[in-house]
Structure 1
Amino acid sequence: MNDATRTAGTAPVASDRILTVPNLLSFVRLLGIPLFLWLMLVRHADGWALAVLVVGAVTDWADGKLARLLDQSSRLGAILDPLVDRLYIVATLVALVARDIVPWWIAAILIGRELVLAPTLAVYRRRGLPPPEVLYLGKGATFLLMCALPLLLLALAVPAATDVAEPFGWAALVWGTALYVWTGALYVYRALATARVTSPIGGHREP
């Protein structure tokens, strides 16, 4: 949230609350990640694994809606929600690569993007700033990936759906990967710009 938006009061100010309905849904989604991996890699129960992904996607949509409807936006939720989204993507990629459904290099690109972005958060922490706002283009990329991976799993779990699910899944995966990498570059640029114009707390401005 930028200063202009905060001053104008056009968006709710995030609170320090932890026990909120949206945060509870995010924790439920977090618990679904090890369950999904167990179903995929140990039990090979592809249908149940697909159901876990669908429930995760529905609760992801619901927690954002409820945060606005119930006025329960929180700083924890602003961090937890995108973190769980990324963990779902990484876990699903790992499982699909292990099952030879997705090539390893696509997973390497997407996971590598997260590894590159992780150090940029230190730029904001050192300056006492909140994490950067999520870009709408980044939300679009995440949406495409969270559609692509279940579609590819659907093609595996339900052979009758393969002719439709597989091409749509691959199309969403290609476009989602491209947008994911592009928005990653934008986040890096924003972090570098912040480092140039804002001094760390108790220190000098970094060159």
Structure 2
Amino acid sequence: MDNWSKNQSNPWEKRGLTPFSQSSASDRGHSPHPCFLELNKLSPELHQNPNGADAAVVPKWTAAMIQNEPVWINGDGETSRDFCYIANAVQANLLAATVEHPEAVNQVYNVAVGERTSLNELFEAIRAALVSRFAHLEGFKPSYRDFRVGDVRHSLADIGKARRLLGYAPSHRVQDGLVEAMDWYVEDLA
């Protein structure tokens, strides 16, 4: 195992970059691999801890809504992210593993949807996906607090390179991913 795999505090790993992207392909004895920056992943398969220090917003808010606890939004809720369902990340990885175009090898790709979703929109999408199962969410509203220092106001991935070189076409928008994942979230977090 290389040093990148051992170092859990590596900022590249926190951003979804694989340890293999950090060393040359010849050093590993494998053919060249692309490097992915998978942004704001939404997935039940990640088993994201809603109470962890770096808790992902979807499991954290879903758990709070199910348990009828406050959902805190930093700022006015118009901060936006490019949330990406896991099926999109899997698609990009499969395309990269089978691509035959020489220009597509040894590249860094953004893997996302290419659409902004505000925190207010995300809150409403999660609430809408849960309200039929949890009646207390009928008029449920978020609680707002000060902006978090250092937070980026808007992020939107440029997925043009992945589209062009890999043929990547996101199959799930954030709402689609929430609908697909919600049964798992309810079972795991309720």
Please tell me the TM-score bracket, short chain as reference: 0.3 to 0.5
Give the TM-score taking structure 2 as reference length.
0.34
Give the TM-score taking structure 1 as reference length.
0.32
Greater RCO (Cα-Cα under 8 Å, separation 6 or more): 2
Higher strand share: 2
